[in-house]
């Protein structure tokens, strides 16, 4: 993986984490936290969505959407665990 790929990966993670923080109110982790949440969300989406029949290919915009949905799932799980 080249440096450009790593930078795109981090950028997509940051955007996805930021969007997920906006969607799931009450969560804001700062820049580094948003990147981590977005990257973990991308892994969740990459593992879950193909099993549900959703495609994971389609460019950067689709990658941001997938990572955001995965990050929203992650933040919802964090919220459930915090309440318990």
CB of 57 closer than 8 Å to CB of 29: no
CB of 46 closer than 8 Å to CB of 66: yes
pLDDT in tens, 39-77: 898 888 888 888 888 766 778 888 889 889 999 999 888
In the three-class reduction of DSSP (H, G, I as helix; E, B as strand; rest coil), residue 41 is classed as helix
Residue located via tokens 């950028």: 11
What span, in angstroms and rounded, lies between the C-alpha atoms of 52 and 78? 22
pLDDT in tens, 25-47: 766 677 788 888 888 988 888 88
Look up residue 58 and give its DSSP letter: S
């Amino acid at each position: 993986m080249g440096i450009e790929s790593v930078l795109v990966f981090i950028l997509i993670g940051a955007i996805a984490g930021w969007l997920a923080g906006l969607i799931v109110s009450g969560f804001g982790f700062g820049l580094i936290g948003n990147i981590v949440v977005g990257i973990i969300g991308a892994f969740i989406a990459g593992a879950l969505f193909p099993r549900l029949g959703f495609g994971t290919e389609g460019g950067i915009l689709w990658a941001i959407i997938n990572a955001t949905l995965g990050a929203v799932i992650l933040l919802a799980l964090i919220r459930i665990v915090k309440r318990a």
